[in-house]
Amino acid sequence: MKKRRLGNSGLEVSAIGLGCMGMSHGFGPPKDVREMTSLLRAAVERGVTFFDTAEIYGPFINEELVGEALEPVRSEVVIATKFGFNIGSGRGGVNSRPEHIKEVADASLKRLRTEVIDLFYQHRVDPGVPIEDVAGAVKELIAEGKVKHFGLSEAGAATIRRAHAVQPVTALQSEYSLWHRRPEAEVLPTLEELGIGFVPFSPLGRGFLTGAFDAQALAASDFRRTLPRFAPEAVKANEAFVDLLRAMAERKKATPAQIALAWLLARKPWIVPIPGTTKLTRLEENLGAADIELTADDLRDLEAGASQLTVHGDRYPEQMERMTGL
Distance CA 235, CA 36 (A): 29
CATH code of the domain containing 131: 3.20.20.100
Residue 326: inside a domain = no
Answer whether residue 3 shows pLDDT above 90: yes
Average pLDDT over residues 265-293: 98
pTM: 0.97
Residue 13: inside a domain = yes
Answer whether residue 326 shows pLDDT above 60: no
Distance CA 174, CA 73 (A): 27
Q: Give pLDDT tens digits for 157-179.
A: 999 999 999 999 999 999 999 99
Backbone angles phi, psi at 300, to 5 degrees: -65, -40
**DSSP characters for 257-323?**
HHHHHHHHHHH-TTB----B-S-HHHHHHHHGGGG----HHHHHHHHHHHHT----S-SS-HHHHTT
- Place 286 in a pLDDT band, splitting at 50, 70 and 90: very high
Answer whether residue 279 shows pLDDT above 80: yes
Q: Which domain holds residue 49?
A: 3-321
User: Mean pLDDT of all residues in the chain?
Assistant: 96
User: Bridge-partner residues for 150, per DSSP?
Assistant: 120, 169
| Cα dihedral 193→195→196→199 (10° resolution) | 90
Q: Is 130 helix (H, G, I), strand (E, B) or coil?
A: coil
∠ Cα 88 58 128 (to 5°): 50
Residue 184: which of 259, 263, 80, 127 has the closest Cα? Answer: 263
Q: Are 241 and 178 in contact (CB under 8 A)?
A: yes
Distance CA 104, CA 173 (A): 19
The pLDDT of residue 325 is 61
- The Cα-based distances of 30 to 25, 35, 58, 112, 233 in angstroms read 6, 11, 8, 18, 28
User: Bridge-partner residues for 81, per DSSP?
Assistant: 120
Average pLDDT over residues 4-20: 97
Total count of domains within the chain: 1
Asked about 57 being catalytic, the answer comes back as yes
- Place 320 in a pLDDT band, splitting at 50, 70 and 90: confident
Which is catalytic among the residues 57, 121, 176, 316? 57
